[in-house]
């Protein structure tokens, strides 16, 4: 090892990179992590998962307090008002605590933070700022950034056409927010500003919002969002945008062709997806190239085509999710240390943190029908779940898709205020190859929303109790 400065150098300190660095250090490897941001934690902690969930939580509390929704529980709150600066301040505090927490964990585990932008000099050598370091193993964990939309220029400082980072820090509630893209970011951040008083229009190119999710879930979600006050324009494309006097004018037209029209907005959020970060990394100096999607290709063990160089997280193929990046970080570090690190990519849950939440794992009904000769589907509505009824929280359902012959669970989809937590049970079940019967005969505490998962499993056999 004397030949190298480090056993492992991780480039990027997002959930993929920082987790890989900590695990590598735990396994006794001399580890460094290069990060160009001022704080550790990547997109997720600084401008992604954490600040967005802070705003979702706070805006939900505001909506509950100000809408009169609590009156039916005998709670009269008169004159609730919004202090947006304080809401932003509390969010910033959570971000600071969590990014500082990673710095603490780096110190505790003796991971050296190399501050600055990293670029390859060769397959074993990387320049970070002015310093050149060598490492036996290098993990590329550089994450992703916003996909730009031609003709629509983002300027987060001007607060008119913004990306997710700008939409997390708007200084005032827009009168009209137009969201381009009916995906996860558009619906989460659209929900924040809708709850705080904005009129929100979502413009989605495809015929349905939330691509990749189960068809029935997509339809039901759109119904719920419309009921909440979202205007959702599917099958519509944005062809350009201009700004004047602190407002924006978007030109839109039907995706399949037709007359153009204009939409006026106080703020436009561009959220049409994210792209892998490899610019400025000088991958060519390491002998690496990117694929047609701009991703670094790896094998199942996260090895790239160059020995000693590995890649994980948003910069490689698969869903762009923090927990997927974390799982890959652990597995990659374990593989480097000579252990067997595995990620089961068939069981990665996804959650949209709106109200209600929308969660899924495994195959959609459409994919299952295509992949399996015969399937069975069990569904259970929260309208028939005693705890949801008690809480006056009955939107949504649980849907379990199982193979008709083996009864093995192929996919689980949930719309519920607690879907993000409920889906964990489905992940465990699928990881252990459970059948729907296994779930149906597992005791679930009463009264809980989780009983709806058990009842949906009973419904796969056609025998739910409460419907
Ligand atoms: P990143 O977190 O993007 O981290 C990469 C890091 O590498 C960055 O800090 C970057 O500065 C650094 N870097 C890049 N290039 C270099 C270089 N050359 N030198 C040094 N450093 C470099 N996912 C979820 O699972 N749940 C959520 O609730 C969720 N919410 C989100 C909300 C928003 C608004 C956004 C934008 C994303 C959200 N995501 C969520 C997605 C999640 O943030 C990403 O999937 C996750 O951060 C990917 O982790 P990563 O480690 O691959 O990369
Ligand atoms: P997305 O891929 O979820 O949604 C983008 C949407 O924009 C799609 O519905 C797509 O059809 C639409 N679109 C594309 N081009 C368009 C155009 N020209 N006009 C109109 N619509 C167009 O991407 P999003 O929301 O930007 O999020 C990026 C990534 O961040 C996601 O892949 C997600 O994995 C991750 N993320 C995860 C979260 C979570 O786990 N809760 C929260 C936020 C982001």
DSSP of 285-328, one letter per residue?
A: GGT----TTSPPP--TTSB-SSTTEEE-GGGSSS---HHHHHHH
> Separation of 358 CA from ligand 2 center, angstroms?
15
For the stretch 299-312, pLDDT in tens is: 999 999 999 999 99
> Separation of 333 CA from ligand 1 center, angstroms?
18
Kindly state the percentage of the chain with pLDDT values over 90. 99
User: Which atom of ligand 2 is least distant from the CA of 352?
Assistant: 41
Q: In the CATH scheme, what architecture does the domain 161-272 have?
A: 3-Layer(bba) Sandwich (3.50)
Token representation of residue 310: 């590995």
Beta-bridge partner residues of 125: 134
Task: Give residues (CB < 6 A) around ligand 2.
Answer: 149, 180-186, 188, 203-206, 211, 237-238, 271-274, 319-321, 350-353
CB 162 within 8 A of CB 269: yes
User: Which atom of ligand 2 is least distant from the CA of 353?
Assistant: 41
Q: Do domains 6-146+275-343 and 161-272 have the same CATH topology?
A: yes
With a CB cutoff of 8 Å and minimum separation 6, the contacts of 454 are 439, 440, 442, 444
| Protein residue with least CA distance to atom 43, ligand 2 | 185
Please report the pLDDT score of residue 373 as a whole number. Answer: 79
> Separation of 14 CA from ligand 2 center, angstroms?
19
Return the ligand number nearest the Cα of 148.
2
| Protein residue with least CA distance to atom 35, ligand 2 | 320
Quick check: 1 pLDDT over 50?
no
Best residue for ligand 2 mutational test, from 165, 168, 181 (most atoms within 8 Å of Cβ): 181
Beta-bridge partner residues of 180: 203, 270
Which of 22, 401, 399, 29 lies closest to 217, judged by CA? 399
| Protein residue with least CA distance to atom 27, ligand 1 | 49
Kindly state the percentage of the chain with pLDDT values over 70. 100
Q: In the CATH scheme, what architecture does the domain 6-146+275-343 have?
A: 3-Layer(bba) Sandwich (3.50)
**Is the CB of 326 inside a 6 Å radius of any atom of ligand 1?**
no
CATH topology of domain 347-460: Enolase-like; domain 1 (3.30.390)
Write down the residue that tokens 């659209």 correspond to.
190
Quick check: 372 pLDDT over 80?
no
> Separation of 272 CA from ligand 2 center, angstroms?
5
**Is the CB of 452 inside a 6 Å radius of any atom of ligand 1?**
no
Return the ligand number nearest the Cα of 348.
1
Instruction: Show which residues are catalytic.
Output: 446
Best residue for ligand 1 mutational test, from 135, 142, 212, 280 (most atoms within 8 Å of Cβ): 142
> Separation of 145 CA from ligand 1 center, angstroms?
8
For the stretch 49-65, pLDDT in tens is: 999 999 999 999 999 99
Return the ligand number nearest the Cα of 165.
1
How close are the terminal C-alpha atoms of the chain, in Å? Answer: 65
Domain ranges of the chain: 6-146+275-343, 161-272, 347-460
Q: Compute the 3-state secondary structure of the chain and give helix, strand, coil in percent, each to the nearest 5.
A: 35, 25, 40
CB 325 within 8 A of CB 354: no
- Maximal CA-CA distance, the chain: 71
Quick check: 135 pLDDT over 80?
yes
> Separation of 309 CA from ligand 2 center, angstroms?
29
CA 408 to chain centre: 27
**Stretch 219-243: mean pLDDT:** 97
Quick check: 2 pLDDT over 70?
no
**Stretch 8-18: mean pLDDT:** 98
Q: CA–CA separation, 283 vs 293, rounded Å?
A: 15
User: Which atom of ligand 2 is least distant from the CA of 210?
Assistant: 9
**Is the CB of 247 inside a 6 Å radius of any atom of ligand 1?**
no
**Stretch 367-380: mean pLDDT:** 94
Please report the pLDDT score of residue 348 as a whole number. Answer: 98
**Stretch 82-92: mean pLDDT:** 98
CB 436 within 8 A of CB 426: no
Q: Burial code of 108-120, b = ≥16 C-beta within 10 A, e = fewer?
A: eeebbbbeeebbb
Which of 400, 387, 396 lies closest to 457, judged by CA? 400
Q: How confident is the model at residue 269 (pLDDT cuts 50, 70, 90)?
A: very high
Backbone angles phi, psi at 371, to 5 degrees: -85, -30
**Stretch 26-53: mean pLDDT:** 98
> Separation of 180 CA from ligand 2 center, angstroms?
9
Please report the pLDDT score of residue 360 as a whole number. Answer: 98
Backbone angles phi, psi at 304, to 5 degrees: -85, -175
| Protein residue with least CA distance to atom 35, ligand 1 | 48
Does this model's pTM top 0.85? yes
Please report the pLDDT score of residue 374 as a whole number. Answer: 95
User: Which atom of ligand 1 is least distant from the CA of 43?
Assistant: 2
> Across all residues in the chain, what is the average pLDDT?
97
Best residue for ligand 1 mutational test, from 44, 274, 279, 421 (most atoms within 8 Å of Cβ): 44
């Amino acid at each position: 090892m004397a030949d190298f400065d480090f056993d492992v150098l991780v480039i990027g300190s997002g959930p993929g990179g920082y987790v890989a660095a900590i695990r590598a250090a735990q396994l006794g490897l001399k580890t460094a992590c290069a990060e160009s941001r001022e704080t550790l934690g990547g997109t997720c902690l600084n401008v992604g998962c954490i600040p967005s969930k802070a705003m979702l939580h706070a805006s939900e509390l505001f909506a509950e307090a100000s809408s009169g929704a609590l009156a039916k529980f005998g709670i009269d709150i008169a004159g609730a008002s919004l202090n947006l600066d304080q809401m932003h301040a509390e969010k910033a505090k959570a971000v600071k605590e969590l990014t500082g927490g990673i710095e603490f964990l780096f110190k505790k585990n003796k991971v050296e933070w190399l501050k600055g932008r990293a670029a390859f000099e060769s397959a074993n050598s990387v320049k970070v700022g002015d310093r050149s370091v060598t490492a036996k193993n290098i993990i590329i964990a550089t994450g992703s950034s916003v996909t730009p939309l031609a003709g629509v220029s983002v300027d987060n400082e001007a607060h008119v056409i913004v990306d997710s980072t700008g939409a997390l820090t708007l200084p005032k509630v827009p009168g009209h927010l137009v969201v381009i893209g009916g995906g996860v970011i558009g619906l989460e951040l659209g929900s924040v500003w809708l709850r705080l008083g904005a009129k929100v229009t979502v413009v989605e190119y495809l015929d349905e919002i939330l691509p990749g999710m189960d068809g029935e879930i997509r339809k039901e979600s759109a119904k719920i969002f419309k009921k909440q006050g979202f205007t959702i324009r599917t099958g519509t494309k944005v062809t350009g945008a201009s700004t004047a006097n602190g407002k924006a004018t978007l030109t839109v037209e039907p995706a399949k062709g037709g007359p153009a029209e204009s939409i006026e907005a106080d703020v436009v959020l561009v959220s049409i997806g994210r792209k892998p970060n490899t610019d400025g990394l000088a991958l060519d100096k390491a002998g690496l190239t990117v694929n047609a999607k701009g991703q670094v290709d790896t094998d199942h063990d996260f090895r790239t085509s160059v020995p000693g160089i590995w890649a994980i997280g948003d910069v490689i193929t698969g869903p762009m999710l923090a927990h997927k990046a974390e799982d890959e970080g652990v597995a990659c570090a374990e593989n480097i240390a000579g252990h067997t690190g595995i990620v089961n990519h068939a069981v990665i849950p996804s959650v949209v943190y709106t109200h209600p939440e929308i969660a899924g794992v495994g195959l959609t009904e459409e994919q299952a029908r295509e992949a399996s000769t015969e399937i069975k589907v069990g569904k259970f509505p929260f309208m028939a779940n005693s705890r949801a009824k008690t809480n006056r929280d009955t939107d949504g359902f649980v849907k379990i898709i199982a193979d008709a012959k083996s009864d093995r669970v192929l996919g689980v989809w949930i719309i519920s205020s607690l879907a993000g937590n409920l889906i964990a049970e489905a992940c465990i079940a699928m990881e252990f190859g459970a059948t729907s019967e296994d779930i149906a005969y597992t005791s679930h505490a009463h009264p809980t929303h989780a009983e709806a998962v058990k009842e949906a499993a009973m419904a796969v056999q056609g025998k739910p109790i409460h419907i």
